[in-house]
Structure 1
Amino acid sequence: MKLRHARAIAVFGIAVLALTGARGSGGGGCDNNSSGSSSSSGGGGSHSDSDSSSSSGGVSVPGGGGSADKAARDITIDKCAYDAATKKLTARITVKNDGSLDYDYSVTMKFTGSGAVTRTAFKAGIAVTAGSSVEAELTTPYLGSGDGSEYTKCEVDRASRI
């Protein structure tokens, strides 16, 4: 092997070592302990009403390990119903921030039911200071001709925080 090849391999090895960290300490490469934000999908928790009127009980949204999953876990669905007065599908949520930083949350809610066309509602800019919680309401127009009873479930489709 020529000296220039040995030198190139050594430089490459040092660069890889520098980027990944010598002792698994996170180094200069990518690590999973980022405190940044994400706007990918998460969530999966849902809330169902047996009738289309108000409901209580809050259903926590489980999540995994990503930033979007952390945002989804901060959301509890308090009510999922058709509001006859406004002719809108409505989800009332509570966003709880147990962290030490203030966050702005964005939430996409999905309304589904038997034979119903899936409808979505989106709300951005839900500001929650560190250690507190905020209630918010997401609505979408009801396009059916009935009483909204076909919509029996709402769930967090996506959630993010920045």
Structure 2
Amino acid sequence: MKIRHVRAIAVFGIALVALTGARGSSGGGCDNSSSSSSSGGSGSNRDDDSAAGTGGSLPGGSGADKAARDVTIDECKYDVATKDLTAKITIDNSGALDYDYNVTMKFTGDAGSTAVPATAIKTGIAVTAGSTQTAELTTPYTGSGDGSEYTKCEVTRASRS
């Protein structure tokens, strides 16, 4: 229970930053040097050696808050084998009802980067009450390089029904 409490505090802090308009700063990015990255739903910090690291930010807005708080970005990267941008997420449904989640992820680069923003959508992610579910969102990489221009990812929309 202690880890859940720490995670809830971390999620609240990120949501507060997102709602106050500071979301566009470095908070919540997926760059490899970000100390705000989270992993595995534990609220712990880590760095990742992949082309695009871990972490993400939550979208604002009261309608999306409940579903967005349930989503943790575990990893964002360029997959060399499939030539896709991928995001691995964990959805934690601590509620009393089963839900189907819809998540939209945006991949971007640093300011001045050649990365054209890319979007991945995954719908119908079934998560039973009181459990977690992992999912992977992918979108084709349209660049000609190694994907390293994509350094950030964020959940831009999350809903549950």
Shift of 1:49: 3.2
TM score, norm. by length of structure 1: 0.65
Unaligned 5+ residue runs, structure 2?
1-17, 33-48
Residue identity (%)? 66
In structure 1, how many angstroms separate the alpha carbons of the residues matched to 2:145 and 2:151? 14
In structure 2, the partner of 1:122 is 121
In structure 2, how many angstroms separate the alpha carbons of the residues matched to 1:64 and 1:54? 23
In structure 2, the partner of 1:143 is 142
Segment drifting more, 79-88 vs 44-53? 44-53
The answer to whether the Cα contact below 8 Å between 1:110 and 1:154 also exists between their aligned partners in 2 is yes
Shift of 1:68: 1.4
Unaligned 5+ residue runs, structure 1?
1-41
In structure 2, how many angstroms separate the alpha carbons of the residues matched to 1:60 and 1:96? 16
In structure 2, the partner of 1:15 is none
Tell me, what secondary structure is at the counterpart of 2:129?
A: coil
In structure 2, how many angstroms separate the alpha carbons of the residues matched to 1:153 and 1:64? 18
Alignment pair present for 1:84 and 2:83: no
Shift of 1:67: 3.5
The answer to whether the Cα contact below 8 Å between 1:87 and 1:141 also exists between their aligned partners in 2 is yes
Alignment pair present for 1:107 and 2:103: yes
How many pairs were matched up?
Answer: 119
The answer to whether the Cα contact below 8 Å between 2:30 and 2:52 also exists between their aligned partners in 1 is no
Shift of 1:92: 0.1
